[in-house]
Amino acid sequence: MSVASDGSRVVFLRSDGPEATADALWVLDVGTASERLVADPAALLAGGADEGLPAEERALRERLRLSAAGIGSYATDNAARVCTFPLAGRLFRADLARGEVTEVATVGPVVDPRPDPTGTRIAYVTGGHLHVVHPDGTDAMLAGEEGGVTWGLAEFIAAEELDRFRGYWWAPDGRSVLATRVDESRVPRWHLHDPARPEQAPTEVAYPHAGAANAEVTLHLLDLDGGWVDVHWDRETYPYLVSVHWAEGGPLITVLRRLQQHGLVLSVDPRTGETQVHAELADPRWVEPVAGTPSHLPDGRVLVGGELAHDGYDARCLFADGTLLTPPSLYVRRVVGRMPGGSGSPDLLVEASEGEPSEQHLYRVRTAIGGGGAEIRALTTAPGWHFGAVGGDVVVIGTASLDHAGTQWTVWRGDKQTAGQPPRAPSPPNPPSPAVERAPARRLPAAVVSPRSHVSGRRLPVLVDVYGGPGHQEVVAARSRWLERQWWADAGFAVVTVDNRGTPGVAPSFEKVIHRRVADVALTDQVEALTALAGKHTDLDLDRVAVRGWSFGGWLAGLAVLRRPDLFKCGIAGAPVTDWHLYDTAYTERYLGLPEENGDVYAHHSLVDLAAEPSDVTRPLLLIHGLADDNVVAAHTLRLSAALLAAGRPHSVIPLTGATHMAAGGVAEKLLALELDFLRRNV
């Protein structure tokens, strides 16, 4: 969702209904509160057009975890008058004021098309080459080369682990582009093959596994008239390009060392490519920049977000040239954008949590100098998970809560609501009713979901439904998170979910205590929280406990069964990371260090090594893995299965033909019956 810079219109994607799987492009006129369908993918692709996606678009959707069909993304100019989007590899341009949509001719399948801020030109990537379409329809290649080099695309590590999904940025005047050049020639090549299709050749992917070479990423300023300036920084010391922002004040970039314990916020001189340090980010474990930063404020100060971990503080805050803008009580998650403020300085719209990690609220943060320190005002107060978009003096607020299905949208101009839309998601016949609480001792965010027909005093088998990994919370005050868990509960389980230390939302120290000891902290917290919850919810039968999870949660489920068979009687591990040597550089090395320097740490976290250890008690494991997974490759599960077999440990494997890490297209839903049968047989 995006809002025009003058607040006149809101642009968003929406499907036709709760059963529809394709998103269309819509516009809301703020003045009249009227909605208008701009682009219907079914109509645009009528006539037997090829609906296949370019490989780069499929990869981008996988990194973004987009499972919907139709229009997956769009981009607008600053005024939100022009909108571009790719559809089946074709480029479309929408005039949002007139409601007209036209197809733009290109030289090849399109990825990430973006109009310049003035709405005059359109840039796009095809075949790893960066192109620009001029107003007269002329299509010019701005940069491109062969030999495993791409221009204008985010490399795997940036998109998967650093939350940078783009590879080029327009100058504010639309006359030049700042673009990445990505050279993957040194990155190891892995081969993904679907055994169910022996006639097809394996797919080769460049996968930077822990300890291996990363892609070489450089940054360049490209003039539309052919001029070229290289951006200079110490790339040997700071190889990760985490973020790029270019609005008024010139480009700002954030770069990190490989182990991510130190970073720099740099300004770029667009004439020479030289950089200047504006801020340093440092932490003995790892740094975690705040999304939406850095950026220039109109008075020339640079807005930076990060941890405040001195003078007794333990917080995620915003700073302007070192001056604290937000109080330490506020856990800042994202800077959404700017709002008109007093004294000629803008205010910031910020998503943050305060005291309760299961909730997120919107805050207005003052940036004006003086006035007695940090000044904030909460724009949302009702329990739930709130997020927003802003343009001019218009704020769009999305609200998910435990009280209703889907998302409630409201549009505000100043303090007056101008439009709104109730949730469009259907209400389930049996809405979930999680008991959200903080588990005693460490006050871990937790929830228990009981069967709707449960009678107090009847003991229930327990299903620990877990993720537990960095960067993601499960215990969130949004009904959508609990629909499937209520289904499990109504099948006869007490479903327990705990956000152990290492997950966000509480405090930096809460997240970073897992450094080099992820396994011990995460499993200890899950066990201690489960035991504490059973003391309060006395119907939880700890003699019948199962655990299930996907990805990091799959690894944690496998770890629980292998390390604590006394408590966990069986487990389901979906797409688990079983050997951290096989997972990617940025994520793995951030928490475990370099494998050549921390071999004992890697061995301690390996399910493959753990499976080979002798044990008097063994518990059954159900392993599930997509054979087309390019994130956690199927080799993880196959190696664990081999180790379990060699050790005589009971387990089963379900290979998912053609499925990626998302297991989209209804695959995950179809697995539920098989998982339920496995759990009923074992607990």
Please compute the mean of the pLDDT values over residues 374-398 and round it to a whole number.
Answer: 94
Measure the CA–CA gap between 30 and 8, rounded to whole angstroms: 5
- What number is the average pLDDT over the span 26-44? 94
Q: What does the alpha-carbon distance between residue 405 and residue 622 come to, in Å, rounded to a whole number?
A: 32
- Going from the C-alpha of 303 to that of each of 14, 169, 265, 318, 367, the distances in angstroms are 33, 19, 10, 7, 9
DSSP state at residue 522: H
User: What's the pLDDT at 423?
Assistant: 74
Classify residue 150 as exposed, middle or buried by CB count within 10 Å of its CB (0-12, 13-18, 19+).
buried
Tell me what pLDDT residue 82 has. 97
Greatest pairwise CA separation for the chain in angstroms: 77
Measured distance CA(348)–CA(336) in Å, rounded:
7
Least reliable range by pLDDT among 335-344, 644-653, 654-663, 668-677: 335-344
Tens of pLDDT, residue by residue over 230-266, are 999 999 999 999 999 998 889 999 999 999 999 999 9
Helix or strand holding residue 56 (H, E): helix 55-64
255's CB contacts (< 8 A; 6+ apart) are 233, 235, 238, 239, 240, 241, 242, 263, 264, 266
Q: How far apart are CA 326 and CA 318, in angstroms?
A: 6
E-only strand ranges, 309-382 = 315-320, 323-324, 331-339, 347-353, 361-366, 376-378
Q: Using the predicted structure, report yes or no on whether residue 371 has a pLDDT greater than 80.
A: no
Quote the pLDDT of residue 50: 45
Whole-Å CA distances, 604 to 260, 559, 579, 588, 613: 22, 11, 10, 14, 12
Cis peptide leading into residue 18 (ω within 30°) = no
For residue 619, CA distances in Å to 124, 128, 419, 547, 567 come to 52, 48, 55, 11, 10
Say yes or no to pLDDT of 23 above 70: yes
- Is residue 48 over pLDDT 50? no
pLDDT of residue 46: 78
Angle formed at CA 437 by CA 431 and CA 442, multiple of 5 degrees: 150
Contact 22, 68 (CB under 8 A): yes
Mean pLDDT of the chain: 94
Query: What is the average pLDDT across 348-363?
Result: 97
Report DSSP state, residue 197: -
d(CA 489, CA 463): 8
Token pair 């740099």: residue: 266
In the three-class reduction of DSSP (H, G, I as helix; E, B as strand; rest coil), residue 1 is classed as coil
Would you state the pLDDT for residue 335? 98
What pLDDT digit, counting tens, does each position of 143-169 carry? 999 888 999 999 999 999 999 999 999
pLDDT band at 51 (very low <50, low <70, confident <90, very high): low
Q: Are 405 and 427 in contact (CB under 8 A)?
A: yes
Q: Per residue in 514-556, pLDDT tens?
A: 999 999 999 999 999 999 999 999 999 999 999 999 999 999 9
Tell me if 321 sits within 8 A of 308, measured CB to CB: no
List, for residues 408-434, the tens digit of each pLDDT value: 999 999 889 998 887 777 777 889 999
The CATH number assigned to the domain with range 435-682 reads: 3.40.50.1820
CB 569 within 8 A of CB 544: yes
Residue 101, strand partner residues: 94
Nearest to 94 by CA among 110, 70, 77, 107: 77
Q: Residue 601, CB half-sphere, CA atoms under 13 Å: how many?
A: 17
Inter-residue contact 88 to 53 (CB < 8 Å): yes
User: How would you class 202 by CB atoms within 10 Å of its CB: exposed for 0-12, middle for 13-18, buried for 19 or more?
Assistant: exposed
Q: What percent of the chain stands above pLDDT 90? A: 87
More confident residue, 19 or 276: 276
142 CB-contact burial (10 Å; exposed 0-12 / middle 13-18 / buried 19+): buried
Question: What percent helix, strand, coil does the chain show, rounded to 5?
Answer: 20, 35, 45
pLDDT in tens, 281-311: 999 999 999 999 999 998 899 999 998 876 6
Q: Number of C-alpha atoms within 13 angstroms, CB side, residue 669?
A: 4
- The C-alpha atoms of residue 578 and residue 467 are separated, in whole angstroms, by 15
| Angstrom distances, CA of residue 587 to CA of 153, 205, 498, 545 | 20, 18, 22, 30
Q: Which residues pair with 218 in a beta bridge?
A: 181
Q: For residue 597, give the amino acid letter.
A: E
Q: How far apart are the first and last CA of the chain?
A: 45
Handedness of CA 153, 158, 159, 162 (dihedral sign): negative
Would the pTM count as exceeding 0.85?
yes
Please list, in sequence order, all residues whose beta carbon lies within 8 angstroms of the beta carbon of residue 557, skipping any fewer than 6 positions away: 464, 466, 547, 548, 549, 571, 572, 573, 576
Position 321 confidence tier, pLDDT thresholds 50, 70, 90: very high
